[in-house]
Amino acid sequence: MATNDGGLLQAFDLGSIFAPARAIEDYMDQFLDTRPLPENLRAAIRYSLFGGGKRLRPILVVRACEAVGGPAEDAYPAASAVEMIHCFSLVHDDLPAMDDDDLRRGRPTLHKQTNEVMAILAGDAMMALAFELITSRIGDPQLSSHIARELSIAANDMISGQVYDTLPQSSAEEDPLERLGMIHRHKTAALIRAACRMGAICGGCSVSQLDALTRYAEFVGLMFQVVDDLLDVTATTEQLGKTAGKDAAQAKLTYPGLLGIEQSREEVDRLYREAIAALQPLGPRAQPLHDLSDYMAVRDR
């Protein structure tokens, strides 16, 4: 049983929600072994990919595929590719020119463990590998190009979100809450949205199923980042495995900064309820996605 202060009270079994994570790690591992890479680059990629992430995005791919009646295995290439893009973004986000962080997933960031050049190149390589994986492992050319398109659009949205966040061109009149929503929808929610859409597409979804899962993803994607903002204020560095209190230290625009902690929790609650409502048309096969939103609302790291 888990709860948060926003009034959600849900039961979920974390072990079973995340059970496919191991198979996806094996899939990435085996794919990486087939690639002719310099050994130091391979080691750097491995350090980033197998560094203890929660695997939320690949699990969303698999669970969305199952929610429309597809087999989990059909989602593994897209699930692996989205995790590679995610790891790429974390490695680059941690660089001195970006967030300048020393700690990630409870360990030194990649540029601290190796050096900046290697971290830049390992990030670049993970981006390219993600698309190589999709185009070489999804046999149906139409499906493969559809998945590559979904992921490339999301990766570009993520980059735009990082630009909105760190290199703003905004005017003083812009509503800060709207600006924050735009940053988060691009920087964080776009990849979560792509994860759900790719899973649905791999599972052979109908248009209405894709619409429902897109709506679900947009709510949980934003909710994930509001929770992330809250954790930055309320959790410890040890708990998060990354430096806590960073947003305030860098004077970042955040939900707790704009709305306060209580109202941010209410926003989590609202987004959670909208996400659950969006799942309704999918029926009982969407229960794991329901459970995942429970976890995402109350996670503590």
Q: 168-195 burial, b for 16+ CB within 10 Å, e for fewer?
A: eeeeeeeeeeebbbbbbbbbbbbbbbbb
| First CA to last CA distance, the chain | 17
Residue closer to ligand GRG (CB basis): 202 or 227: 227
Nearer to ligand GRG, 56 or 68 (CB): 56
Shortest Å, Cβ 127 to ligand GRG: 6
Q: Which amino acid makes up residue 95?
A: L
**Least distance to ligand GRG from the beta carbon of 253, Å?**
14
Using rule CB under 6 A, residue 158 touches ligand GRG: yes
Three-state secondary-structure class, residue 7:
coil
* Closest to ligand GRG by CB, 212 or 226: 226
Q: How many CB atoms lie within 10 A of CB 97?
A: 9
Question: What is the β-pairing status of strands 103-104 and 9-10?
Answer: unpaired
Binding residue count for ligand GRG, defined by CB under 6 A:
20
Which residue from 81, 1, 14, 24 is spatially nearest to 292, judged by alpha carbons?
14
Min CB(6)–ligand GRG separation in Å: 19
For the segment 24-63, give every residue that binds ligand GRG (CB under 6 A): 53-54, 56
Cβ-based nearer residue to ligand GRG, 189 or 213: 189
The torsion angle over the Cα atoms of residues 261, 292, 193 and 111, rounded to 10 degrees, is 70
Residue 134 burial (CB count, 10 A): 26
Interactions with ligand GRG, residue window 76-105 (CB under 6 A): 85-86, 88-90, 92-93, 98, 105
Closest Cα to residue 227, out of 189, 197, 195, 191?
Answer: 189
**Residues 180-239, interacting with ligand GRG (CB under 6 A):** 187-188, 225, 228
Among 120, 121, 153, 159, interactor with ligand GRG by CB under 6 A: 159
State the residues that interact with ligand GRG by CB under 6 A: 53-54, 56, 85-86, 88-90, 92-93, 98, 105, 155, 158-159, 162, 187-188, 225, 228
